[in-house]
């Protein structure tokens, strides 16, 4: 099988190293942006060299971002080349379009590496879906945020102190917004829910909140109450309706998810006959993500790749509900944005007030956090 790589960064570098050990797979073209980095004859600065090469069977896309990634993926599919991608942002935004183009051209579009890194998450969602209706999924899908929360819990440090360490170790970018504000997890949630429920889930319909506002006092409160805070993606289906949200949650300290350490991920699904399935492993990195890409390549080459199909029509509804922990900092207007009688208990804290709510929806909580950005909110599981 002849393969082209779009990009030659950490991920495609990992793919290249793995494929060198598999003689039946040949990397014949590599698209790069910087002419100064052209170190091999197979490297090119022109995507047309790949698009018009009829000997190339499969294209790996890992350049990131929406454009020109979307255009490269569509052009590759329309040239009747299989596509394997690790680009969660472009898949979440254009999933339905890519699946339709792959079907029209009789090729495969593979996305294992977009969600969960080296964890075989997408493949198992598809396998379970052959027998069961997947009614719910959740998970820790971002290693950076999990590293920060784990270190705050185990070491008793403040958020920004741990974030600095994560940046020094390379777990967090100089601008960590996509990780700590939930953008990355929302993309993975949209992709996962689309696969699980058999219908394209609009990423913009998924409410999200991150961990930017969590403080040491919130972690201390969790510890005193036998709880651990994690950033979760959650999606549920009930009949012809579904719901999805990305937000911090509070878990009993003895649960598996509460004990996922450092930059590891865990993904969980529920099916009627298989019950609950949990998958654990490295959620990012060149070799784990490269491994997921190569697994997709092998599946395509051996004819064992599952088609992605969107044959369901589901309506977004408020299915996910729960009680919430709200930390309203002193001197803010948070109180006046709490709509309805959702307060169950108020607890004074050293730098504000903690409110425990009655059962409510993520949408109700977002009415507060959208207007008062400094509030930290987490749903009890």
Helix (H), strand (E), coil (C) string for 265-310: EEEEEEECCCEEEEEEEECCCHHHHHHHHHHHHHHHHHCCCCCCCC
Q: Which position has the token pair 């879906």?
A: 129
Torsion angles phi and psi, residue 232, rounded to 5: -115, 145
Residue 161: CB atoms within 10 A of its CB come to 13
Distance of CA 46 to the CA centre of its chain: 30
Per the CB < 8 A criterion, the answer to whether 240 and 374 are in contact is: no
Residue 120 vs residues 265, 267, 268: alpha-carbon distances, Å:
12, 10, 11
- H/E stretch holding 326 reads strand 324-329
* Catalytic residue flag (residue 188): yes
Q: DSSP per residue over 87-114, as a string?
A: -HHHHHHHHHHHHHHHHHHT--EE-GGG
CA atoms of 334 and 107, how far apart (whole Å): 52
Out of 188, 313, 371, 373, pick the active-site residue.
Answer: 188
What are the catalytic residues? 188
């Amino acid at each position: 099988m002849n393969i082209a790589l779009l990009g030659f960064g950490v991920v495609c570098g990992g793919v290249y190293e793995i494929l060198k050990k598999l003689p039946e797979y040949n990397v014949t073209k590599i698209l790069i942006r910087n002419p100064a980095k052209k170190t091999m004859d197979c490297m090119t600065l022109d995507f047309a060299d790949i698009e018009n090469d009829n000997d190339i069977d499969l294209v790996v896309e890992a350049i990131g971002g929406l454009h020109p990634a979307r255009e490269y993926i569509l052009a590759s599919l329309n040239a009747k080349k299989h596509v394997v991608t690790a680009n969660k942002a472009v898949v979440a935004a254009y999933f339905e379009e890519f699946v339709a183009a792959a079907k029209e051209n009789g090729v495969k579009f593979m996305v294992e590496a977009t969600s969960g890194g080296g964890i075989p998450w997408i493949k198992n969602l598809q396998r379970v879906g052959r027998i069961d209706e997947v009614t719910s999924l959740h998970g820790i899908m971002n290693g950076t945020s999990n590293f920060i929360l784990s270190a705050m819990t185990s070491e008793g440090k403040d958020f920004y102190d741990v974030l600095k360490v994560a940046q020094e170790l390379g777990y967090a970018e100089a601008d960590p917004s996509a990780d700590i504000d939930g953008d990355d997890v929302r993309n993975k949630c949209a992709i996962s829910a689309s696969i699980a429920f058999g219908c394209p889930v609009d990423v913009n319909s998924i409410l999200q909140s991150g961990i930017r506002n969590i403080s040491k006092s919130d972690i201390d409160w969790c510890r005193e109450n036998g709880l651990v805070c994690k950033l979760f993606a959650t999606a549920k289906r009930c009949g012809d309706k579904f719901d999805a949200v990305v937000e911090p949650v509070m878990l009993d300290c003895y649960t598996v998810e509460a004990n996922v350490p450092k930059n590891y991920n865990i993904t969980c699904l529920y099916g009627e006959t298989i019950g609950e399935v949990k998958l654990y492993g490295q959620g990012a990195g060149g070799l784990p993500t490269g491994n997921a890409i190569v697994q997709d390549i092998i599946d395509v080459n051996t004819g064992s790749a599952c088609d992605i199909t969107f044959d369901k029509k589901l309506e977004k509804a408020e299915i996910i509900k729960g009680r919430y922990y709200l930390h309203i900092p002193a001197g803010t207007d948070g109180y006046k944005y709490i709509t309805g009688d959702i307060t169950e208990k108020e607890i004074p804290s050293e730098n504000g007030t903690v409110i425990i709510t009655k059962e409510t929806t993520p949408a109700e909580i977002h009415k507060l956090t959208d207007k008062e950005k400094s509030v930290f909110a987490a749903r009890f599981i």
